Amino acid sequence: MNTPQTRRSFLGKLWFLLGGVALAEAFWLAGDFLRPRNRRTRRGTPSSIIVAGPVERFETGTVTAFREGKFYLARLDDGGFLALHRECTHLGCTVPWRQDEGRFVCPCHASSFDIHGDVLSAPAPRPLDLFSVRIENGIVKVDTTSPLKRNVFDASQVARP
Amino acid sequence: MAGIVTRIWRSIFTRPIKVEGERDQRRAVREWLALHARPVRVRESTLPFTHTFGLGGMSMVLVILLMATGVLLMLAYEPTPATAYRSIEALQQDYLFGGLVRNVHHWSANLLVAVALLHMLRTLVTGGFHGLRRFNWVIGLSLLAGILAANFSGYLLPWDQLSYWAVTICTGMLGYIPLAGPWLQGLMRSGQEIGASTLVMYYAFHTTVIPVTVLVFMAFHFWRVRKAGGVVDPVPPDPDSDAQPGYVSTLPNLLMRELAVGLALVAAVLVFSVLVEAPLAGPANPGMSPNPAKAPWYFLGFQELQLHFDPLFSILIVPILGAVFFLAIPYIRYAPELSGPWFLSPTGRKTAAIAAIAGAVATTAMVLVDELWLHSISDSVAPVLLRGLLPLAIICAGIAGFRFYLVRRHSPAGAEQVQAMAVLLLSCLVTLTIIGVWFRGAGMALVWPWQI
C-alpha cells in the first residue's frame, strides 16, 4: 500500500535529511581535526636547506651523519655526493653506518644497504630515500624538504662537484 | 536532631542496609542501584569457579583499576615530547607511591589483554556464542579491539626509547597497505613522523575516546549476557526430564564469589606491582633505534609474521582472513548448537588438544624452516609469490588437510570442528608471540631466551 505524499510526510523526511547533514558535518569536523598537519617548512625556504660544508671536507668513500637534517652525506669513491635519508625503508628505524663493513645495517630487522643506499639484504623493499644535493661554489647544500623515493640506484642521482 | 539525621539517611537509603533472610536478599538485588543489573536468582550449576574462572568479571575489575590509576596519572603527566619523559620521572620520584600507581596501571593493562583473550577462549570452548549470544560475540571482539587500542595508544605516552620505536614500527607497517597505506600511516602518526602532534592525539584518544567507548560497549556486553539468561549453563537442562534446574539467590551466592575473585585479583596486581617495576627505557631518541626494536608483546605475533611473509600478506591479508574467521564463528550454521561444558564433549576435548599441539608444532617448524633454509635461497625473488601466495596456499592446504584428518579420525560435530580450527589458529598466534618475545634477539635473529 502506498501512502500518499503529504506535506507532513515530506517535512518528516526533510527532518531526517537534515539530521543526516548534521551528522555528516560533525564527521567532517572531526575528520579535519584528525587530519595530519604538515608542519614542515616549504620547499626552498632557508631553514629546510642544510649547508653541509665545502666539498674538500668530505673524503671519498666516507659517510657523514647530519643529525638535524636526518640524513647521511655519502661521498662516493668517484667523488660524487648522495644525501641518504636515515630511515630504513622497511619500517622506519634509523640505520647506522658501519665504516668497517662499508654498509648501513638496520638494527630492527637486519636490512642492509651499501654506500649508494641500494639494498644488500631484505626485508627492506627499496633503497634508502634521497634528498637533493646541490653544490654551489664548492659548498655542498642539501634540501631536506621531502625525501625522494626510488626503486634502484642510478648514476643520475649523484651530485658531482 | 536525631530526627533530621534519620530523615536524611532514609532519603538516601530507602530500605534497611542490613539484609536478613532470602526475601530481603532478593529485594536488595532488585532495588539497589549497584546491584539491580544482576538477576535476582541464578542457576546453581553456573556458579563453580572453574566454569568461567571469573574472567569476564576480572576484566571489569581491571578496567576499574585502570580508570582509577589513569586519573591519578593524568594529574602528573604532561603530553609534550619535551616534558613527557621528565613528568614520568617526576611521578616516580616526587609523588606519594607515584611509581606504584604507574606500575599498577601498566601491569593491569597488560594483564587485561591476557585476561580478555582467555575470556574469549572460555566463551569459544563452552559454546557461548549461539542463539541470543550471537551478536554478543561480536561486541566482545570489539571490546578486545578497544583494549588493544587503549594499550597501544598508552604505550607511546612515556616517550621513552621503547615507546617511540614500538610505535614507529607499528605505524610503519601500515605504510604497506595498498592504496590507503600512506594516508593511514599519516593519520596514525598525525604527520610524516612521530612528534608532538602524534603524542597529543594518542593522549587525547587514550584518555577520552577509547575508555568511554570501552565503557559503553561493556554496558552493552553485560546487557546482552543478561538478556541471554546469564552465562552458558555447563549442565544444560535435559528436555526429556521434568526436573527443574536449581536456582539460588544471587545475593550472597554469586555476589560473594565475584567479590572474592575481584579482591584476590586486586591484591595480586598490587603485590606484583610492588615487586616488579614497569619498564622505562631512556628518553626517546629519534636518531638511534635500539637493537632489537620490538612492538609491544601483544603485537609481536604480527611482527613475527612480518619476518616470514611479504608485507602485503603479513599486514593485510593474513590478519583480515583471521579476523573474518573469528567474526564468522557465531554465524556458521551448527547442528546441534553444542554449548555448556568445557570443550563441549570428550571428542571436543580431544580434537581441541590435538589442534593446540598441531598449531604449536607446525608454527615452530615453519619458522625454523623459513629462517634457517628458505631465507638463504628466496631473497628478493618475486616476493609476492614466494613469500606470499605460495606459503599462504600451503598453510591453507595444511589447515584443510588437518580438518579432513580430524573428521576422518575422530568424527567431531560441526561445532567441535570450528572449535578445533579456532584453537589451531590461536595456538599459532600464541606460538608466534612466544617466539617474538623470547626467541628474537639483536637484529631479530633467532636466539635462546637467555641470550637476549
The CATH number assigned to the domain holding B196 equals 1.20.810.10
Residues B209 and B332 grouped into a single domain: no
Q: Does residue B81 surpass a pLDDT of 70?
A: yes
> Of all residues in chain B, what percent carry a pLDDT higher than 90?
59
Can you tell me the mean pLDDT for B304-328? Answer: 90
> A131 vs B136, which has greater pLDDT?
B136
Q: Which residues contact B168 (CB under 8 A, 6 or more apart)?
A: A91, A92, A93, B194, B293
Q: Distance (Å) from the C-alpha of residue B174 to the closest C-alpha of chain A?
A: 9
Residues B69 and B196 in one domain: yes
**pLDDT for B378:** 53
User: Taking CB atoms and an 8 Å limit, are A36 and B191 in contact across chains?
Assistant: yes
Estimate to the nearest angstrom the gap between the alpha carbon of B347 and the chain centroid.
28
Which residues have C-beta within 8 Å of that of residue B124, sequence separation ≥ 6?
B329, B419, B422, B423
The whole-number average pLDDT for the span B333-359 is 91
Given the DSSP bridges, would you call strands A71-75 and A119-121 parallel, antiparallel or unpaired?
Answer: unpaired
Clarify whether residues B278 and B316 are in a common domain.
no
Q: Tell me what the pLDDT averaged over chain B comes to.
A: 90
Do B325 and B407 lie in a common domain? Answer: yes
Q: Which residues of A touch B447 (CB under 8 A)?
A: none
* Contact of B282 with B160, CB cutoff 8 Å: yes
- Distance between CA atoms of residues B384 and B401, nearest Å: 24
Lowest mean per-residue pLDDT among B72-81, B85-94, B232-241, B327-336: B232-241
| Angle, vertex CA A57, rays to CA A51 and CA A62, nearest 5 | 100
Residues B422 and B400 in one domain: yes
Per-residue pLDDT at A38: 62
Which one of B289, B376, B446 would you mutate to disrupt binding with A, by most A Cβ within 10 Å of its Cβ?
Answer: B289
β-sheet bridge partners, residue A67: none
Within a domain: B3? no
Rounded to the nearest 5 degrees, what angle is found at the Cα of B256, between the Cα atoms of B255 and B260? 115
B311 and B409 both lie in a single domain: yes
pLDDT number for residue A41:
45
Q: How many angstroms away from the CA of A33 is the closest CA of chain B?
A: 10
Residue A103 pLDDT class (50, 70, 90 cuts): confident
Inspect the interface and report whether the beta carbons of A92 and B168 lie closer than 8 Å.
yes
In this structure, is residue B36 part of a structural domain? no
| Domain shared by B150 and B169, yes or no | yes
Chain A CB contacts of B172 under 8 Å are 90-92
Helices (H), B370-413: 375-377, 383-384, 390-410
Burial of B267 (0-12, 13-18, 19+ CB in 10 A): exposed
Mean pLDDT computed over B288-316:
86
B1: in domain: no
Grid cell for residue A141: 647544500
Domain limit, last residue, from B258, B290, B322 = B290
B134: containing domain: 50-239+246-290
Q: Which of A66-80, B49-63, B339-353, B430-444 has the lowest mean pLDDT?
A: A66-80
3-class secondary structure per residue, chain A: CCCCCCHHHHHHHHHHHHHHHHHHHHHHHHHHHHCCCCCCCCCCCHHHEEEEEEHHHCCCCEEEEECCCCEEEEECCCCCEEEEECECCCCCCECCEECCCCEEECCCCCCEECCCCCEEECCCCCCCCEEEEEEECCEEEEEEEEEECCCCCCHHHCECC
- In this structure, the answer to whether residues B113 and B150 fall within a common structural domain is yes
Mean pLDDT, rounded, for B74-83: 94
Higher per-residue pLDDT: B114 or B452: B114
Over the stretch A8-23, which tens digit does the pLDDT of each residue have? Answer: 889 989 999 999 999 9
**B329 lies in the same domain as B250:** no
- pLDDT tens digit string along A26-44? 999 988 888 887 655 444 4
Residue A51 is placed in which grid cell?
649547508
Cell numbers representing residue B242 in the block: 521434568
Q: How confident is the model at residue B98 (pLDDT cuts 50, 70, 90)?
A: very high
Domain assignments of chain A as residue spans, ordered by start:
1-37, 46-157
pLDDT tens for B139-155 read 999 999 999 999 999 99
d(C-alpha A155, C-alpha A77), whole Å: 13
Task: Tell me which of B133 and B31 has the higher pLDDT.
Answer: B133
- The pLDDT mean for chain A works out to 82
Identity of the highest mean pLDDT range in A86-95, A151-160, B1-10, B77-86: B77-86
Asked which of A95-109, A114-128, B88-102, B380-394 is least confident by mean pLDDT, the reply is B380-394
Average of pLDDT values for B92-111? Answer: 95
CA pair distance B402, B417, nearest whole angstrom: 10
> Based on the domain organization, do B284 and B337 belong to the same domain?
no
Region B219-248 average pLDDT = 84
The pLDDT of residue A42: 46
Q: By percentage, how much of chain B surpasses pLDDT 70?
A: 97
| Predicted pLDDT of residue A105 | 86
Domain A46-157 is found in CATH 2.102.10.10: yes
> pLDDT at position B326, please?
96
Inform me whether the pLDDT recorded for A47 exceeds 70.
Answer: no
CA distance B443 to B451: 13
Contact A110 B445 (CB under 8 A): yes
Q: For chain B, what is the domain count?
A: 2
Question: What nine digits make up the cell of A61?
Answer: 668513500
pLDDT tens profile A111-130: 888 888 888 877 788 888 88
CB contact under 8 A, B292 and A94: no
Cβ contacts of B318-324, under 8 Å, gap ≥ 24:
B318/B392, B322/B425, B322/B429
